Structure 1
Amino acid sequence: MQQHWVHSWAAMQQPAKATNLPSESFTLRQTARLSLGTSSHIRLRLSNAFGDRPLTIAKATIARSADNASGTNAVQPDTLHPLTFSGDPEACIPAGALVVSDPINIGGLPPATAVSISLFLPDGQLPGGIVTLHPGSRTTSWYYISGIEILVPRESSAFVLIGDSITDGRGSKTNGDTRWPDLLFSRLQTQPHEETSNSAPSISLINQSAGGNCVLEDSSGGPSVLARLDRDVLSLSGVRFAMIFEGVNDIGIAPPDPKIQAIIEKRLIAGYVQIATRLKAAGIFVAFATLTPFGAPREEDEGSNRDTTPYSHPVRELTRQRVNNWIRGHSPAVFDAVVDFDAVLRDPEDSSVLAREYDSGDHLHPNQAAFQALANHFPIDVFCL
């Protein structure tokens, strides 16, 4: 049987702020939940992408998390495996680089397995050094771990989601793995697939999203989509599908001035075209999702606050509507599919706001019920290629 490497988990890399440095300087134990499993081999990617000096890893191990739980320090001891890097237990990662571990036969892992990764840093966190991590995903933050690859049959592939806080997990349960991509993966594992003899499609879901992220400019949410596309999609193993669900922050942080918003709209659409062009050139199926509402309710309901979303403004809403109309009207000329998340979550009486049952309370971020609605709405027939 022919096999190849496919990413089963990844996290968008960002430079750490002083407020999200690890509490333990020398030993880091972190969990990550795979999507697809493997019957044999696995390997780990560690990143020093934003480091300003070399990072030494004295030793690294991987094991199955106790009780298959996320965010715990407990492991299943009999599953512990040491990792090596070109045969050496120690790895020195230059500033701006990453390292891939040697493959290990882990004995098989089922889908949705939580693994625990321990990193031992002999020098600790050097004062003033820049730490590479992924914060804010409603899982204990991931330091230096950028990806986990599995060896699987050739028909297996990866689906990468590029997004902001809505996809990264704001509003989900901490360490509960209830982001909408997690729920979509669960659906893929349980719902019969039209063209695969009623078996689940062999597709991993890779969440490359970050709160506050923008398409056009670097921000508090890390590098822009245009800047991170190569690292977060094109460099990953086995990617066959990708979806872009971003643009709300580009519109929301720009002043509500009609002239400025017109510029943002033009640049955002141009950015979408660039993203689609680059991904399709790599043979990747490209979907775009419409932008969900961020307006405040027009009438005060008990407990509501019109000031909870700073993005709410009629001028910004016009930009969102025009961008969504462009997305709906430019498939397949520019990309391969449109996923109309706006239609799923908007209030049927007022398209500028989230439906009450899907509003987390800040009128910008969807709640857990909304995440399930997004997962249920996603057209899994796009994977029948």
Structure 2
Amino acid sequence: MSGGRPVTTWAAAAEALGARLREVTVRNVVRTSVGGTGLRVRLTNAFGKRAVTFGRVRVGVSRAGAALEPGSNRVVTFGGCAGVTVAPGETVLSDPVAGRVGARQRLAVSVYVRGECDTLTGRNRATAPAYPPLGAWEPAVSPAYRSLPGDHAADEGDDAYVEPVSVWHWLDALTVIAPEPVPVVAALGDSLTTGVGSETGHGWTDLLAHLTGLAVVNEGVSGGKVLAAGTGRPAEERLAREVLTKPGIGTVILQAGVNDLGAGARADDLIAAYRRMVATAHADGVRVVGGTITPFAGAEYHAPEGERARQAVNAFIRQGDVFDAVADFDAALRDPAEPARLLPRYDSGDHLHPSTAGHQAMAAAIDLPSLRQGGPAHVPGPPSSRQRL
């Protein structure tokens, strides 16, 4: 990828969240990963049963809570218009917003819904992490705020934003024109990818971005599966319809499958889906890092047949002739004395989700040079898989 092309600086997976909202403004607080110019906002009505009208959209620099830095709140237009109606299942991309946004800058995207939204499309268990200026992590803030009734998108203050919520609303991606080539990594997974279990709210994807300085976008869905839908689409469908449609993504880290195994999925079916997903990504010139499935003995849905399937799937991932690289999350988290279980200090307490220390171990398990280099870590895949990172 050469300089001056659009890249995704922030993204989130789409979920059907059920909430019905009417004549309200939502301020979504997010953190960019790379800086650039020409910021564009992508909104989605993926799970709406009816069209939704966004009457006004603005983007500003977050100050504290729902408050903005004075003078930073800019109008976002769509085809030159202040508002836009998005049909069920559709996504819309804004016009470029003048000016520059910084790397790791906290932005607030305010969206006023004119009329009613019947089914909210968003991302649950959202966080808006801060990055440490001198090695100490700042606390995460609420990722979104709902307002009193009416259009409050232009408000710089937070008086009207009375309800903090842990859900991003309609916001699908932010893109910028980067001044030089930037490797963009998408983490496609389940609740482990969203960061569940970390007491600080900073999951392994946040830590990976901090360790590498790369653009890492989080495409996790809590409860997500590879083979079946949950609140979001199946991971195989999300790869094609959500992840690969976002510009600049050159590597996907696939961390998904434990919920399938907990629901009784067969190893062969999961392996076949992985093969299809890698082929889809390679056809688009995107590399795929396969993440082994982490131990979950003791979790509510663990069963002996699920453990046998996990071992078979992990053996397939490690064999190295399908994925471009391997992130051995299983080896990083398992208890050597009981390999089907998480090491106690890596267990958040439910025997499924890693603790803060566990998320740190997951980030450390990823081969950082393989994310920075231009070609695949392994030979497999068609030549197109080596075209960009």
Smaller-chain TM-score range?
0.7 to 0.9
Residue 196 (structure 2) pairs with residue 207 (structure 1): no
* Alpha-carbon distance in structure 1 between the residues aligned to 2:232 and 2:84: 26
Q: 1:354 maps to what in 2?
A: 342
Contact 2:40-2:175 within 8 A present in 1 as well: yes
* Distance in 1 between residues matched to 2:362 and 2:283, nearest whole Å: 28
Quick one: distance in 1 between partners of 2:101 and 2:220?
Answer: 28
Residue in 1 that maps onto 2:330 = 342
1:52 is matched with which residue?
A: 49
Q: CA deviation at 1:154?
A: 4.8
What code does the residue aligned with 2:348 have?
S
**1:228 paired residue number:** 238
Segment of structure 1 superposing worse, 152-161 or 264-273: 152-161
* Separation (CA, whole Å) in 2 of partners of 1:347 and 1:157: 34
Question: Paired residue for 2:40, among 18, 38, 43?
Answer: 43
1:153 CA drift (Å): 3.1
The TM-score, its normalising length taken from structure 1, stands at 0.83
Q: Which residue of 2 aligns with 1:366?
A: 354
Q: Does residue 130 of structure 1 match 2:119?
A: yes
Among 295, 304, 311, the residue aligned to 1:321:
311
The within-5 A match list for 1:231-250 is 231-250=241-260
Distance 1:358 1:106 in 2: 43
Any runs of at least 4 consecutive aligned residues in structure 1 with deviations exceeding 6 A, and if so which? none
Deviation at 1:164, TM superposition (A): 0.3
Deviation string, structure 1 residues 66-94 (Cα, Å, up to 9, x no partner)? 15xxxx21111221111111111111112
Deviation at 1:377, TM superposition (A): 2.3
Q: Which has the higher strand share?
A: 2
SS of match in other structure, 1:77: coil
Counterpart for residue 204 of structure 2: 180
Deviation at 1:177, TM superposition (A): 5.3
Selected match of 2:302 from 292, 308, 312: 312
The answer on whether the counterparts of 1:161 and 1:244 sit within 8 Å (CA) in structure 2 is yes
Structure 2: 5+ residue stretches without partners: 128-142, 144-165, 375-389
Q: What's the offset of the Cα at 1:120?
A: 1.1
| Alignment RMSD (CA, Å) | 1.7
Provide the aligned length of Structure 1 versus Structure 2: 335
User: In structure 2, what is the Cα distance between the partners aligned to 1:240 and 1:154?
Assistant: 15
Contact in 2 for aligned 1:359/1:367 (Cα 8 Å): yes
Q: Is the 8 A contact 1:137 1:210 kept in 2?
A: no
In structure 2, the partner of 1:290 is: 292
Distance 1:17 1:51 in 2: 9
1:9-57 Cα offsets, whole Å, 9 max, x none, are: 1111111235xx56x751111101111122x221100111111221111
Does the 8 Å contact 1:285/1:336 carry over to 2?
yes
Q: Percent identity?
A: 32
Structure 1 unaligned blocks of 5 or more: 190-202, 255-260, 297-308
In structure 1, the residue matched to 2:10 is 9
| Corresponding letter in the other structure for 1:63 | G
| TM-score in terms of structure 2 length | 0.82
Contact 1:345 1:358 in 2 (8 A): yes
Per-residue displacement from partner, 1:278-305 (whole Å, max 9, x unpaired)?
1011111111010000012xxxxxxxxx
Distance 1:150 1:204 in 2: 12
**How far apart are the structure 2 equivalents of 1:171 and 1:177?**
8
Q: 2:112 aligns with which of 116, 120, 123?
A: 120
CA deviation after TM superposition for structure 1 residue 222, in Å: 1.7
User: C-alpha displacement at 1:334, in angstroms?
Assistant: 1.4
**2, 24, 27: which is aligned to 1:26?**
24
Q: Is contact 2:183-2:215 (8 Å) kept?
A: yes
